[in-house]
Structure 1
Amino acid sequence: MSEFHDLAELALNRAGQSWGNLGYWKNASDYSDACRALATLLGEQAALDHHSIVFDAGFGCGDQLLLWLEHFGVSQISGVNLSRSQTAHARTLLAGKGQADTSAAIRRGDVNDPAIWKAALDGTKPSHVLALDCTYHFPDRLAFWGLAEQHLAPAGRLVLTDFMLDARHRTKGFRHRLLCWMLKRAHIAETNIVNEEIYRDQLVQAGYGEIIILDISEYVMPAFSAGSDRKLTWPVRCKYAVTSRFLKWAYRRSILRYCLVSATKVGGSDRRY
């Protein structure tokens, strides 16, 4: 059975790279470099260091796991990813880089499943829960935030990148209907796409404070490129050409914004999800 999240992004990368995000194109012109730049920006916002214990929700093909380990030097890492093919690729990648122990700490599963968090963390309380360019795909983002808050160490941080509705966008009319159609095609729940005011309120209700939302749209949405120099099959080229056009349209028409978000767990919690 085919997966929506598979290994298609391998064709977009340079040899030896397997990134799969929208990229941060401020100083990049190559897909692999842009993807690494977005991951680095997230790691810097999280202030990752050798004390950090990381849970990566949606680690893709594993390149970002190596970035957390090698560039930021985090002390411990675990994670969950829905895709079987990507998880298998990530395990192979980690083992090939001498990270066999880390490979054993990542799992295939649904990030909205409380049991998978318990299995992956095995009693560990992470200092950081990271979600790089994937939260909008989760079946229930609010449940994910709740599980992250439940398992984070005191004052632990949730750091992610995500789409939000532009404050100027009206949720009626042709543009919104077209947006909803595109979201459905991209396996994104409409309830995951809200404006910044609602987004902040939802984070507060989930038990977070010290919320920082940075709009990085201009370096992500209109600049995204699958790389015209790559030898891509027609289905892959078509998929990413449509993605690129949609992102440019949603940015220029003030429909969506792409943001870097960080929030801190406030106090204790007896919530259960």
Structure 2
Amino acid sequence: MTLWNGVLPFYPQPRHAAGFSVPLLIVILVFLALAASFLLILPGIRGHQRWFWLVRVLLSLFIGAEIVAVHFSGEWFVGTVWTNTSYKAFSAERVQVHIGLHVGLVGINITLRGTPVQQLNESIDYNERFTWRLDEDYAKEYVGALEKGLPDPVLYLAEKFTPRSPCGLYHQYHLAGHYAAATLWVAFCFWVVANALLCTPAALHGGLALLTTGAFALFAVFAFASVSGAPRCQFRLGPGSAPLTPRYGSAFWVTLAT
């Protein structure tokens, strides 16, 4: 135990909450760099054309950034709850925690933070991710979470999304996320084509390509929303505790608005 600086051997790394998503941060920085580059040359455009190009380019960059960024966001379906729940298996000790469930296109993210953080002589601050990409095994990741000895609330929510769970959430959100991601990448391709055509005399075709971009973005929203009408399991983390009820998150609504 001293080898890992006080962290238990079955979980040999510090359990700190994950920071901002690195891929999402990279996408934002790339598009911000493009926007900054355009703003540098904006003073060279004279007259009313300056404001026309300002709105046109910044709006187009926002659309492209949003289409790419939501792939890496876990804010498609979100639920949080403050509750008093058991913390470890085979233990009657209970803790006050804030639990969050964040469903994205390629997996789920479960956060668990104690209120206060220091309880039972340890820091309760977890941020665990479980993915269902085509090249990754969700069930294997869940087994790995069991071996790590993650807290009961994290394992409870993760188990609801396993392929063998009676809830059937895995197959619903796996397929919905797969088709939503695929249609969003098609929308991004049409966005690139639209920008290329709008810089040529074929502005009409560019407008049609931009409409097609919006259509595929809507298809992605509808693909993800298709699972909302399916029966859902109730997430209740203990007797007498308030249920965790997920709702559509910011990524869903921003994609719809875009």
Normalized against structure 1, the TM-score is what?
0.27
Q: Greater helix percent: which structure?
A: 2
Which structure has the larger Rg?
2
TM-score for the superposition, normalised by structure 2: 0.29
